Chains A and B, each alone.
Chain A
């Protein structure tokens, strides 16, 4: 719907743009130099439209090289006319056959978008995008504890017409809806699924590392900003040279009621902290095998026996998306009695108790700390009675709160 609206706007501007294309022929001397718009190519005009801020300018050489366009002519209607429009080539006489210039316009947009998807994967395109990235044109992550980490545009599909452009944050490895509605008319395929991740492979100094340790200083860790600036203490190094080389912003939000952490035993207790959690050291990442299971000392040998089998049925998705298969595999290898089947998760829990306690104490940010650091299970027996209870509790609290201020 908004797409339609945008097309209308474009149509208006295009009618202006056409004049620009024609005029230089007739009045090339004098007149063109005085009007700045007359020097504007279609590409730079397109990239300057509102909502097209994420696009970089694809060089004409790239578009003119047929090899770069392989397969696109079957996806874009009015291929020839669209090419002429994008490259500012004067159309042939028979171009008049096309009833409506807006049809060609949308073809040109799709052509440019799909070429753009390929261009930004190359060296020149990545360079153009890193300039935009560093100047913050793509915006920053809306998540509070990513502390304004810059994001890059990202598609959910490489085929046009599926979904609009999204923004990928390298710190939380998640995708977000652009804050402004003007980007809702931009197709995600014009950026593609690969670009964002190839970008952070190329520019590893901009990619946050997968591990994070809370700064040791107790009091200042309250503010995410101050902890980010404490990087002066030591230069950050990721032992994996192919991984992210930037210090991550690793705090995870901890819900609190009257200063007490909400226990995970409560029905409304935290369930999603894992999504943002990072291990403290890179070595901890290796404690989980390719299937997503904890590696025990006992189990470790079994795993080594499996080496060749592991290579055979390697499938990146099997480990994390197919729970059933995981259970079957487990049966095969330890021949466990049927009773133990449902408890496969529990065994993982027992294997590394140390990590578990750390995850809930150090790694998470005390948003409203209590001096005693107490943790309590708050559970209300019934909705009605509970409300009254909480109100009373509140009324006794204010003196303590103001005292802290």
Chain B
């Protein structure tokens, strides 16, 4: 308990003196991507199935997370226990954020832009979502998924770059867009999420996006009943030019890519016609 209080001061979390391990963990620097896992989710042992094989000192680590650890636990154990508790919390977190309540919490963070914004210029500061490349811990660090360009980026800060990707899992961002189809970002125009995004997108690019696409589905992203078969056609892309002229090889590649895109659009439109 004393150790925790000391760390509180050093990490600079000022407002609420974290009463629980989880709130301490969430307020420490570098853990901004995590959301709070409900206590009853952790206490339901069914949700923890299999984790005892992943985490050493599983029982004590669980006690530490849930603030039920005896003070009698020896000091040398505490140091390693902290690492195990983080691992355990991370693995529980990966399961929690794909539940209905966990998704809802992550949506709030997504809307606030807690996970950062897409570095791709033409994505106009689209809010990102954390994702793992593999569900097994100690393999790959966390990456960020952009719903607009549908690609993965490394976190800017090394603090976030060292978080294990397994604490978020490979499924999370895609399940989020599956469950909340209204959050699927439009392929052009300013991002739909909050004032921060609008402020960040305040540039020349925004005006251009508007002109090209006056009929974009409001600022609410892709609507529930609206077809997404041909959204790719609206996506902007960068064209390398030398003195205004495109480069032969790059232009050829881009034409090939766009032909592949048109093919997919045709395929999807055909499917849609058949379906309706």
A residues engaging B (CB < 8 A)?
142-145, 156, 162-163, 166, 168, 173-177, 179, 193-194, 196-198, 201, 210, 240, 242-244, 253, 255-259, 262, 264-279, 284-288, 290, 292-294, 316, 319-320, 323, 343, 345-346, 348-349, 355-356, 359, 367-368, 378, 380, 383, 386-388, 390-391, 394-395, 398-399, 401-402, 404-405
Q: Is the CB of B153 within 8 A of A143?
A: yes
Q: Is the CB of A287 within 8 A of B47?
A: no
Is residue B5 within 8 Å, beta carbon to beta carbon, of the partner chain? Answer: no
**C-alpha spacing A293/B258, complex, angstroms:** 9
Q: Name the contact of A197 in the complex, choosing from B134, B154, B180, B247 (C-beta under 8 A).
A: B247
Given contacts A173-B254, A265-B268, contact A395 B49 (CB under 8 A): yes
Q: Name the contact of A387 in the complex, choosing from B46, B100, B152, B249 (C-beta under 8 A).
A: B100
**C-alpha spacing A256/B51, complex, angstroms:** 22
Which of A174, A243, A271, A386 is packed against the most chain B CB atoms within 10 Å?
A271
CB distance from B111 to the nearest CB of A (A): 17
Q: Is the CB of A394 within 8 A of B99?
A: yes
Is residue B54 within 8 Å, beta carbon to beta carbon, of the partner chain? Answer: yes
Is residue B108 within 8 Å, beta carbon to beta carbon, of the partner chain? Answer: no
CB distance from B222 to the nearest CB of A (A): 7
Q: Name the contact of A320 in the complex, choosing from B98, B154, B238, B255 (C-beta under 8 A).
A: B255
The proximity string for B residues 250-268 relative to A, scoring 1 for CB distances below 8 Å and 0 otherwise, is 1111111111111111111
Q: Is the CB of A175 within 8 A of B238?
A: yes
**C-alpha spacing A391/B112, complex, angstroms:** 25
CB distance from A85 to the nearest CB of B (A): 30
**C-alpha spacing A274/B253, complex, angstroms:** 10
Q: Is the CB of A391 within 8 A of B50?
A: no
Is residue B69 within 8 Å, beta carbon to beta carbon, of the partner chain? Answer: no
A sample of 13 more A-B contacts (CB under 8 A), given A144-B154, A367-B133, is A142-B154, A210-B252, A253-B152, A255-B150, A256-B174, A257-B174, A269-B228, A271-B235, A272-B235, A277-B257, A346-B270, A383-B179, A391-B99
B residues engaging A (CB < 8 A)?
46-47, 49-51, 53-54, 95, 98-100, 103, 119-122, 133-137, 143, 145, 148-154, 156, 170-171, 173-175, 177-181, 184, 187, 203-205, 222, 228, 231-233, 235, 237-238, 240-271
**C-alpha spacing A380/B184, complex, angstroms:** 16
**C-alpha spacing A142/B154, complex, angstroms:** 5
Nearest B residue to A384, CB-CB = B100
Given contacts A143-B151, A359-B260, contact A268 B177 (CB under 8 A): yes
